[in-house]
């Protein structure tokens, strides 16, 4: 939105538009020319003073959910100040606007709802999707984050309550990577829910019907994807928190046709790969020599495995050989050829082996150097699991990636204590520092927010025609390359969140180079790609309205 579009607004209409409202920061000239005299306190405050007031008010809140609700209200009133708050202290605020607080917010979304944010596209409106998308007030939408609420975090089918996830994800695009918020659209594709408690909740905000057959759902998604190409031709579709099979199938359905990606598959894969690359800087091993065992074999596991396999092929192995380094274990045991319940996308990781439903026995037999938990089963990495991994490996790599916190396969404290300080550990949530053996370990958070906002910024700036796995592989390496030797010694496998904006700008520049190298950009390649990315970075500063 250009400043010229502000000219037709005056007085109270300006105060009701969060994208231009400055609250107490309007100058005297703006107040006189825009009819604001008397509508705001007769004082002109700096953004720093406004930030101070927000911090004071947040200090009076008793829980992170209360702080989340406060910040959402702030966003509804003053977008610039909202992002100034988030970007002033990402370590403090990103966990409030997203994981882990977003889990509780989604569970209670219909009950804490204040006003709509984003779009709600109901399957009851099929045949009209294109016209409905045109109701959005911004013409140049660059990213739509869309969910059907089918599998929210580790919480399952939350239906319309899942809109909190696209809202939060897109806030991270801006807060973590500087993607301008005007071109970001959170969208809930409402095809019903099978969650009976929600269907019986009088405050539920979605369609009160069961989910349709797959064929009907996919036909509706087809209409949505086609409509986006027409209404928002430069838009990338970010699929988020769909059920496992839908996530895999829809990505395969569209990835070679339009600009799209699935963060649960590719973003999760990127940050996991980045963590492994960092861990190997400690162990001295090569990626192609690792044996990797997953606990969980859904879309996240498949996405991580596929990206790791792709990265391994860059070290000289064939795709089949790379896949042979990776095994999976789910609720029905180890994936192997005698299993009759496997999806087609799981087959490449079902290797010949005696059937077993004992995860510890699978570890003893396969001797993995890396175990990755994406099971959503809290405490699944037991003391015996960690101890066996520590017997097999001098420095076992243990990633407990399920979230929210109570779904993590093991805590940082458990991993370090049970391994006697040997584990190279990361979790999907942030755990506090751990004291063990006279050393303080700083457990890393394998958070997708290191990856997808940077990829999003590269896509935004280059207007990429497609999104490829190579972009996520490069993002993984770029993030790992920014971890210092001292940080590795402390147990950190990812850069500190306090510098996440700078980390992501550099990562986005590396990804943008891939976009240009593969001829997927719609803009000309600049002489300095990093400077080009920096020129697109949003800054939470008020603009003159006169």
CB 142 within 8 Å of CB 233 = no
Q: Exposed e or buried b for every residue in 154-173, given b needs 16+ CB within 10 A?
A: bbebbbbbbbbbbbbbbbbb
Judge whether 98 counts as a catalytic residue.
yes
Q: Exposed e or buried b for every residue in 486-507, given b needs 16+ CB within 10 A?
A: ebbeebbbbbbbeebbebbbbb
Judge whether 357 counts as a catalytic residue.
no
Q: Say which residue the tokens 């087959």 belong to.
A: 347
Bridge pairing between strands 370-373 and 397-400: parallel
CA dihedral sign, ordered 476, 478, 484, 487: negative
CA distances from 215 to 44, 221, 348 (A): 57, 10, 25
Please, how many CA atoms are within 13 Å of residue 382, restricted to the half-sphere of its CB? 6
Q: Where does 28-140 have alpha helices with state H?
A: 28-33, 47-59, 64-77, 79-88, 90-97, 101-107, 109-112, 129-133
CB 267 within 8 Å of CB 374 = no
Q: Is 103 helix (H, G, I), strand (E, B) or coil?
A: helix
Q: Where does 284-424 have alpha helices with state H?
A: 299-313, 319-324, 359-366, 383-392, 412-418
Q: Say which residue the tokens 């894969």 belong to.
A: 269
Among candidate residues 98, 188, 204, 460, the one labeled active-site is: 98
Q: How far apart are CA 402 and CA 296, in angstroms?
A: 10
Q: Cα 94–98–101 angle (5° rounding)? A: 105
Among candidate residues 169, 261, 425, 538, the one labeled active-site is: 169
Peptide bond into 362 cis (omega under 30): no
Write the secondary structure of 190-236 as one string of H (helix), E (strand) and C (coil). ECCCCCHHHHCCCCCCCCCCCCCCHHHHHHHHHHHHHHHHHHCCCCE
CB 415 within 8 Å of CB 400 = yes
Record the tokens describing residue 202, joined without a space.
């009088």
Which of the residues are catalytic? 98, 169
């Amino acid at each position: 939105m250009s400043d010229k579009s502000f000219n037709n607004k005056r007085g109270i209409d300006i105060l009701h538009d969060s994208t231009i409202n400055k609250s107490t920061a309007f100058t005297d000239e703006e107040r006189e020319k825009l009819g604001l005299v008397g509508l705001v306190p007769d004082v002109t405050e700096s953004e720093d003073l406004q930030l101070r007031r927000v911090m004071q008010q947040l200090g009076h809140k008793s829980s992170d959910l209360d702080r989340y609700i406060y910040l959402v209200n702030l966003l509804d009133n003053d977008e610039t100040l909202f992002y100034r708050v988030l970007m002033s202290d990402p370590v403090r605020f990103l966990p409030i606007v997203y994981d882990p607080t977003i889990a509780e917010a989604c569970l209670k979304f219909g009950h804490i709802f204040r006003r709509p944010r984003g779009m709600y596209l109901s399957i009851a409106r099929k045949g009209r999707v294109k016209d409905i998308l045109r109701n959005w007030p911004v013409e140049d939408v660059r990213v739509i984050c869309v969910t059907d609420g089918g599998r929210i975090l580790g919480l399952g089918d939350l239906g319309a309550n899942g809109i909190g996830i696209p809202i939060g994800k897109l806030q991270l695009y801006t807060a973590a990577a500087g993607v301008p918020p005007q071109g970001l659209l959170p969208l809930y594709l409402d095809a019903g829910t099978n969650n009976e408690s929600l269907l019986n909740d009088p405050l539920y905000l979605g369609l009160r019907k069961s989910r349709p057959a797959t064929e009907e759902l996919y036909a509706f998604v087809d209409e949505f994807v086609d409509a986006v190409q027409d209404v928002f031709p430069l838009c990338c579709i970010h699929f988020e928190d769909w059920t496992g099979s839908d996530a895999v199938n829809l990505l395969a359905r569209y990835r070679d046709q339009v600009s799209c990606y699935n963060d649960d598959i590719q973003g999760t894969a990127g940050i996991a790969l980045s963590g492994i690359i960092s861990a190997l800087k400690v162990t001295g091993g090569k990626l192609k020599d690792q044996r990797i065992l997953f606990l969980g074999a859904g879309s996240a596991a498949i996405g991580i495995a596929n990206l790791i396999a792709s990265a391994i092929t860059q070290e000289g192995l064939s795709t089949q050989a790379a896949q042979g380094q990776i095994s999976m274990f789910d609720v029905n045991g180890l994936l192997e050829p005698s299993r009759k319940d496997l999806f087609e996308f799981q087959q490449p990781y079902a290797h010949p082996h005696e059937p077993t439903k004992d995860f510890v026995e699978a570890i003893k037999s396969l001797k993995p150097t890396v175990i990755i938990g994406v099971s959503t089963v809290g405490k699944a990495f037991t003391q015996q699991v960690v101890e066996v991994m520590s017997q097999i490996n001098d420095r076992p790599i243990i990633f407990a990636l399920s979230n929210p916190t109570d779904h993590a396969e093991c805590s940082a404290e458990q991993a370090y204590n049970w391994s006697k300080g040997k584990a190279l550990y990361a979790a999907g949530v942030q755990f506090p520092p751990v004291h063990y053996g006279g050393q303080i370990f700083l457990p890393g958070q394998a958070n997708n927010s290191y990856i997808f906002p940077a990829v999003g910024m590269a896509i935004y700036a280059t207007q990429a025609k497609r999104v490829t796995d190579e972009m996520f592989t490069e993002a993984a390496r770029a993030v790992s390359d920014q971890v210092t030797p001292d940080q590795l010694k402390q147990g950190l496998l990812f850069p500190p969140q306090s510098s996440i904006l700078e980390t992501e700008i550099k990562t986005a520049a590396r990804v943008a180079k891939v976009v240009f190298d593969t001829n997927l950009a719609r803009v000309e390649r600049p002489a300095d790609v990093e400077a080009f990315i920096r020129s697109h970075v949003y800054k939470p500063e008020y603009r003159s309205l006169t």
